[in-house]
Structure 1
Amino acid sequence: MAIYGYARASTTDQDVTIQEQALLRAGCDVIRSEKASGTTRAGRSELSLLLQFLHPGDTLMVTRIDRLARSIRDLQDIVHELRVKGAVLKATEQPIDTATAAGKAFLDMLGVFAEFETNLRRERQMEGIAQAKAKGVYKGRKRSIDPAEVRRLKEQERLGATAIAERLGIGRASVYRALAAGDV
């Protein structure tokens, strides 16, 4: 019966050292860390690896539930996978232990709040963007494609969309979109 620790930070400028130290103090045999969004399981290879290694009687340990998932659906899916494998989930900073009824109930409540916090953050971000657009400050992401260069390659060098995409290091669909929009 092993205890596997999982630490996660959302962005590359955040640090997982404090989480890793807490997981070590909690007795984790193996700790895996990654820097990825918690709103989805996509792209979280370290979590996937841990879930593959769990066996009956093992424990997956996190410091807080929001380090594991920010979506109640993902959280429930992870807990279901653990249950099927005969493993449990525990948190060092929260009274979470999926081996108990109270721990399961508290887990679901915390999962709802983690998702709620993510949704609030997204709403505030969208409000800020709307205000910036109204003031004329927000222009969106800068173009990654130079329309003049696409035009030059199309007209002067008589290249097709595939050749233009390869030359500029962009997707062929981006060339087609630019051509269809009349940007080039």
Structure 2
Amino acid sequence: MTAIVGYARTSTLEQVAGFEAQLRDLKAAGCTKLFQEQVSSVAKRQQLEAVLDYLREGDTLIVTKLDRLARNVAHLGQLVAMLRGKGVSLRVLDLGLDTGTPTGELILNMMGAVAQFERQMMLERQREGIAKAKSEGKYKGRAPTAIRQAQRAHELAAEGVQRAEIALRLGMSERSVYRALKHCPS
């Protein structure tokens, strides 16, 4: 028996309306099982892994938009290849796309390439804007976490707290703790 499975994702917990809209649209598309998570696309996505493990030959995976599924064209290609290898088709609702057809697969690849191009152009514009702001003295960047937390890290170290625990308490890496302690000597 084949299944129609939905996957919904937003990057943050604050995106409630977008998340609810995805769930509504996936149910309306006939999804009998839903996998959902609210996590950044670059973070570990346990529900994406779970849905990929769950899918079987003949099933259909439905997402509302491509960016809810894949980070970039390379990632999209990996996912589509994995789905194809399992005999699973992919439907993208906002594109009216179904990779169960040769035309759908071609369009998916083209759309993924366009999305990647748009992202690269946006990043280029962002870099140009930052460079301009820096040249005008308006952009300083963020203060490094290690330096900003140096005094507190030093205090905890003086209390005998181990570096791993300092990192955990201050929300920074152990490497940053070492930098902070180096920056703020006793």
Report the TM-score range of the alignment, normalised by the length of the smaller protein: 0.7 to 0.9
CA contact (8 A) 1:161 1:176 kept: no
Alignment of 1:41-56 (within 5 A): 42-56=43-57
Q: TM-score, normalised by structure 2?
A: 0.79
Q: Quick check: 1:11–1:36 contact (8 Å CA) kept in 2?
A: yes
Instruction: Name segments (4+ residues, structure 1) moved above 6 Å.
Output: none
1:60 is aligned to 61
Q: Which has the higher helix share?
A: 2
1:94-173 map, 5 Å: 94-144=95-145, 145-150=148-153, 157=158, 162=163, 165=166, 169=170, 170-173=172-175
SS in structure 2 at match of 1:83: helix
Q: CA deviation at 1:111?
A: 0.8
Seen in structure 2, the aligned counterparts of structure 1 residues 23 and 160 have a Cα distance that, compared at 3 Å, is closer
Counterpart residue number, 1:92 = 93
Counterpart CA distance in 2 for 1:106 and 1:167 is: 46
Give the deviation of 1:113 after TM superposition.
1.4
1:45 CA drift (Å): 1.4
Structure-2 residue corresponding to 1:28 = 31
Structure 1 residues 76 and 167, CA gap change in structure 2 (3 angstroms): closer
State the secondary structure of the residue aligned to 1:6: strand
Using the TM superposition, give the Cα deviation of residue 27 of structure 1 relative to its aligned residue in structure 2, in angstroms: 0.5
For structure 1, list consecutive stretches of 5 or more residues without a partner in the other structure.
none
Q: CA deviation at 1:24?
A: 1.2
Residues 10, 127 of structure 1: CA spacing in aligned structure 2 closer, same or farther, 3 A cutoff?
A: farther
After superposition, the CA RMSD in angstroms is 2.8
Alignment of 1:2-13 (within 5 A): 2-13=3-14
Question: How far 1:179 moved relative to its partner?
Answer: 4.6
Identity %: 40
Match of 1:16 in 2: 19
Q: Is the 8 A contact 2:163 2:174 kept in 1?
A: yes
3-state SS of 1:32 partner: strand
**Residue 37 (1) aligns with residue 40 (2):** yes
Greater displacement, 73-82 / 160-169: 160-169
Give secondary structure in 1 for the equivalent of 2:124.
Answer: helix
Matches of 2:167 and 2:64, distance apart in 1: 45
Partners of 2:6 and 2:164 in 1: CA distance: 47
> How far apart are residue 75 of structure 1 and its match?
0.7
